[in-house]
Amino acid sequence: MKILVNFKSGFKQIFIVPKSVLAVEFRNMAKEIGGKIDSIEFSLPTRRQQSNCSKSESSERIVRLPERR
């Protein structure tokens, strides 16, 4: 799964993470790497893409995880 992390410093980083990693674990890991997090965007394949692994039909769904307060 591709995950885009937007840090409060303005830096952006894309991570490739196994689906087995919990969102909270990943957020803590990303925070240690880049500092305070502004937002996290999870890029999940659509159901059609999961069953039909055709690169010509690649579309992604973005899920945002808000910063914990």
For the stretch 3-15, pLDDT in tens is: 999 999 999 999 9
Q: How far apart are CA 21 and CA 58, in angstroms?
A: 23
DSSP alpha helices (H): ranges in 1-69? 23-34, 47-51
What are the pLDDT digits (tens) for 33-63?
A: 999 999 988 876 666 655 555 554 445 556 6
Q: How many CB atoms lie within 10 A of CB 59?
A: 8
What are the pLDDT digits (tens) for 20-35?
A: 988 889 889 999 999 9
pTM tops 0.85:
no
* Overall domain count for the chain: 1
Q: How far apart are CA 40 and CA 17, in angstroms?
A: 13
Residue 11: which domain range? 2-65
Query: Which residue has 């937007």 as its token pair?
Result: 6
41 phi-psi bin (left φ>0, alpha ψ -120 to 50, beta other): beta
